[in-house]
Structures are given as structure tokens and as C-alpha cells.
Amino acid sequence: MQNSKTQETLVGLFVACGITALFFMAMQISNLGSFGDENVYTIRANFDNSGGLKVKSPITIAGVRVGRVSEITLDKDEFVSVVKMNIDARYKLPADTSASIYTAGLLGEQYISLDPGGSEELLAENDVMDITSSAVILEELIGKFFTENESE
Amino acid sequence: MIDFFQTLGHSVLSSFAKLGRSCFFLLQILAGILTVIPRPRLLTKQLYSVGVLSFLIICISGFFVGMVLGLQGFYILSDFGAEETLGVMVAASLVRELGPVVAALLFAGRAGSALTAEIGLMKATEQLSGMEMMAIDPIKRIIAPRFLAGFISMPLLAALFSSIGVIGGQIVGVGLLGVDDGAYWSQMQSTLDFQEDIINGVIKSIVFGFIVSWIALFEGYDAVPTSEGVSRATTRTVVNSAFAILGLDFILTALMFGDI
């Protein structure tokens, strides 16, 4: 039917297509293409309440993603949530940068928005951000709304 | 009454015997693979009939599955005003589940049944015994290259299925229904994780390739050497592969994505 050369060429094409597809999945579908772990530095922020924030939640500045949350732990002494984040090393942040947790859309996932300040000093590896505002918990808001209405 | 217990006992014993034969067969194949490696020609020929000939059906099915996911996902997500997450939905369901599973089911139907029929007919026409007479081990010469070809082709086919499905979803979602192109890709990239999603999907497809090739070759090798026996063996290949794929998929999903 077909000589072995055509057959070999077709097999070669098939394997090449398959590997391209694997590569496409890695680079285009998953997050591998956008961020390597090597070019990041870690900073921390303490929140009173980190709400529905998860590991790998995005960190944005002015709506542009600059990093990801890498770890969320509880401070045992002060009972605050310690959020570690990996920031892309291309972005240098002033020391008085503030962090707030927002929700994308009404029911969307939560993310950290950073608001750079005007300080000359820059945040370095493992620095802690002091100015933070916690996640808005929808139930708390609703609860507050009802109690305020009752007191009137 | 005694007859009933005898039939029961016989069927239990014969199914255990079959299981034992299939495991022994697998060990022989694995030992035989070493002899395939210095002879790439044998492998190329099987890669052609197992992989290249399944290429078209995998691509077309992947494309349509992706388009349907795009369409259905859009209708459901637009109820919540969340059309932008269409990319996540299409890609996550394809990469995690549908890609490996549907590709494996199609692979069992397209390539697995052909393997069983081929080996079964070789047995029925006594080609396998003929080889043994000439002191050629049919497991090394016939079975092992086919097994290796199935094992290599399956992950590639599943990756093709998922990739083409994502593109199909994009054509419907972005092209026809007006989801934003940037949102489709960026949401997908920020949600899907390389290790957790892509690698696990590939592991699944490798496991399915292993299982389907094993079942197909064993059923052919173990077939009753008559035309009826071969036809039954072919049916069993497709049915057993489907059971194995779906059952294993649940177990693998529970292990990979659950906290069990």
C-alpha cells in the first residue's frame, strides 16, 4: 500500500503533532508560560481576615497581574492571617505599598490588589507590608445592614 | 442445586485463571519490550497503524467536543454573567477528564478492536504457532511492538484531543458567541495549573494507553481460534476497555483531585 518511507514520515508527523499538542497544553492552557518560579521574590502581609483567598490567587496592581499567593497561614500569637505572595521580580514595589483583598465580580474569586505608595525605599525579600485591608465578608455586611435598620 | 454451585465455581475459577494468564502475559510483554528497542522499524509500522490511523478520528471528535462544550458552557455561564470563564470551563473539563477519557474510548474502539482482531486472526490461522515453530517468539516479534505503540500513541492522542478541543471551544465561544478572546485565554491560564491539571491529565492518558493496549492484545492472544471466537474477543476488548477506562478514571480523579 504505502512504502515504508511514507509510513515513517507520517509517524514522524504524528509524533511531532502530539508533542506540539503537549507543548501547547503546557504553555498556552496552563500557567507555565506566564510565570516561572525562579524570577519572583516573596513578600508578606498580615490581614485580620483573609476571607476566601486561596493559594494561587492572583495579585494585581492596577488590574494587571504581578504575582500569586504562595502560602496562607495563621499567626499563632496575634491570630492574624499571614499571606505570603510571590511577586514577579520585574516589579519593584515601594516600602509603603498597601494590600487589600477584593472580590472579582459579585461572586467571583478573591484576589489581592496592591496599591504602591510613594516611598523611596523598596520592599525586599520577606518584607512585611503593614498597611492592609481585609476581605469583605458578604454575610457580615448583610448582618450589619440588618442590625442598623433595626436600631433606627 | 449442586449444578448451580458447580457452574458458579467454574466461572469464578475460570475468571481467576484468565486474570492470572493476563498478568503473566503482561510480564512477558514487558520483558519483550527490551527487544523492540533495538529494532525501531517494527515500532514505526505499529505506530502508523495504531497512532497515525487514529489521528483523524481523534482530531475531529476533539474539535466537536470542544465546540459543544463552548456552546453549552456559554449558555449556562451567561445566566450568571460569567461568560469570561468559558475558557476555564472548556479547558479544565477537557484537560482533566474528557481529553484522556474520550480519547481512550475512541482509541479502544478504533485501534484496540483492530489489534484484537489482528492478533486473534493470526492465532486462528495458526501464524503464531508457525512463528513458534521457527523459534521466533511471537510475544517479542508481534505483541511487544504493538503494546509499545499503543502506550506511546495514547498520551499524544489525548493531548491532541484536548488542544484541538480548546481551539474548537474558542472558535465557538469567541468567534460565534462573542466572548472576549483575551479573557478566554488569560482566565484559562491563570486557573489551570501545569502540575495539577496538565500533568495529571497526561498521567491519566498514559495509564489508559497501558490498560487499553494490554486488554486488546490479551483478548486477541487469548481468543478462541475460530471466527466466532475472534468476533467475541473483539467485542470484549471494547466493552472491557470502556469499563476499565471509566472505573480507573474515577479512581485516578479521586486520588489526584480529591483529598482522599
Q: What is the secondary structure of A66-132 as a DSSP string?
A: EEEEEEEEE-TTT--EEEEEEEETT---BTT-EEEEEESTTTS-EEEEEE----SSB--TT-EE--E
Q: Which residue has the cell 493531548?
A: B159
| Residue A136 DSSP label | P
- Does residue B124 sit within a domain? yes
Is the model more confident about A15 or about A148?
Answer: A15
Question: Which residue type, as a one-letter code, is found at position B82?
Answer: A
Partner A contacted by B44 (CB < 8 A): yes
User: What pLDDT score was predicted for residue A25?
Assistant: 84
- Interface contact B159-A21, CB threshold 8 A: yes
Give how far A120 is from chain B: nearest CA, Å. Answer: 32
Surface-to-core class of residue B165, CB atoms within 10 Å of its CB (0-12 exposed, 13-18 middle, 19+ buried): buried
Query: How many Å apart are CA A17 and CA A28, to the nearest integer?
Result: 15
C-alpha cell at B93: 473539563
Alpha-carbon torsion A12, B103, B72, B250, what sign?
negative
Cβ contacts of residue A78 below 8 Å, gap of 6+? A46
Q: Which of A138-142, B28-32, B94-98 has the lowest mean pLDDT?
A: A138-142
The residues with which A43 forms a beta bridge, in sequence order, are: A85
pLDDT at B106 over 70: yes
Give how far A102 is from chain B: nearest CA, Å. Answer: 17
Domain boundaries, chain A: 1-33, 40-142
- Interface contact A21-B160, CB threshold 8 A: yes
Structure confidence at residue B167 as a pLDDT band (50, 70, 90):
very high
Give the mean pLDDT of A23-32: 79
Give the mean pLDDT of B111-130: 92
Measuring CA to CA, which residue among B135, B114, B111, B136 is closest to residue B51? B111
Structure confidence at residue B22 as a pLDDT band (50, 70, 90):
very high
Structure confidence at residue A96 as a pLDDT band (50, 70, 90):
confident
Residues of B in contact with A64 (CB under 8 A): none
Give the mean pLDDT of A66-92: 87
Query: How many Å apart are CA B50 and CA B60, to the nearest integer?
Result: 17
User: What pLDDT score was predicted for residue A106?
Assistant: 66
Question: Which residue type, as a one-letter code, is found at position B224?
Answer: V
- Count contacts between A and B (CB, < 8 Å): 92
pLDDT tens digits for B26-35?
A: 998 998 888 8
Provide the domain limits for residue B69: 42-257
Query: How many Å apart are CA B138 and CA B194, to the nearest integer?
Result: 41
Answer whether 0.80 is exceeded by the pTM: no
Minimum-distance CB partner of B47 among A11, A17, A105: A11
pLDDT tens digits for B189-220?
A: 877 888 788 889 999 999 999 999 999 999 99
Give the mean pLDDT of A63-87: 86
User: What pLDDT score was predicted for residue B134?
Assistant: 92
pLDDT at B161 over 70: yes
The residues with which A110 forms a beta bridge, in sequence order, are: A103
Partner A contacted by B69 (CB < 8 A): no
Q: What is the mean pLDDT of chain A?
A: 82
- Interface contact A107-B80, CB threshold 8 A: yes
Query: How many Å apart are CA B239 and CA B249, to the nearest integer?
Result: 15
Minimum-distance CB partner of B194 among A13, A31, A58: A31
Is the model more confident about B239 or about A109?
Answer: B239
- Interface contact A18-B156, CB threshold 8 A: yes
Give the mean pLDDT of A47-64: 82
- Interface contact B51-A56, CB threshold 8 A: no
User: What pLDDT score was predicted for residue A2?
Assistant: 57
pLDDT at B260 over 60: no
- Does residue B10 sit within a domain? no
Measuring CA to CA, which residue among B65, B102, B99 is closest to residue B202? B99
- Interface contact B189-A18, CB threshold 8 A: no
Structure confidence at residue B235 as a pLDDT band (50, 70, 90):
very high
C-alpha cell at A5: 518511507
Kindly list the strands in the beta sheet with A64-74, ordered across the sheet, starting from the edge strand earlier in the chain. Answer: A128-129, A40-47, A81-88, A64-74, A58-61, A110-115, A98-103, A132-133
pLDDT at A30 over 90: no
Q: What is the mean pLDDT of chain B?
A: 90
DSSP string, B6-69: HHHHHHHHHHHHHHHHHHHHHHHHHHHHHHHTT-HHHHHHHHIIIIIHHHHHHHHHHHHHHHHH
Structure confidence at residue B184 as a pLDDT band (50, 70, 90):
confident
- Interface contact B164-A21, CB threshold 8 A: yes
How many structural domains compose chain B?
Answer: 1
User: What pLDDT score was predicted for residue B181?
Assistant: 81
Look at strands A128-129 and A40-47 and give their pairing.
parallel
Minimum-distance CB partner of A65 among B156, B166, B190: B190
Query: How many Å apart are CA B100 and CA A22, to the nearest integer?
Result: 13
pLDDT at A33 over 70: no
Measuring CA to CA, which residue among B155, B152, B141 is closest to residue B36? B141
User: What pLDDT score was predicted for residue A36?
Assistant: 53
Minimum-distance CB partner of A18 among B45, B159, B192: B159
Max mean pLDDT among A47-61, A118-132, B230-244, B245-259 falls in: B230-244
Question: Which residue type, as a one-letter code, is found at position A60?
Answer: T
B 157-196: CB under 8 A from A: 157, 159-160, 162-164, 166, 185, 188-190, 192-194
Q: Are A126 and A43 in contact (CB under 8 A)?
A: yes
Coil, helix or strand at residue A47 = strand
**Ramachandran quadrant class, B44 (left: phi over 0; alpha: psi -120 to 50; beta: rest):** alpha
C-alpha cell at B240: 472491557
Q: Are A112 and A101 in contact (CB under 8 A)?
A: yes
Give the mean pLDDT of B217-245: 92
Give the mean pLDDT of B116-131: 91
Q: Are A17 and B59 in contact (CB under 8 A)?
A: no
B 13-42: CB under 8 A from A: 41
pLDDT tens digits for B39-82?
A: 888 888 888 988 888 999 999 999 999 999 999 999 998 888 78
User: What pLDDT score was predicted for residue A91?
Assistant: 85
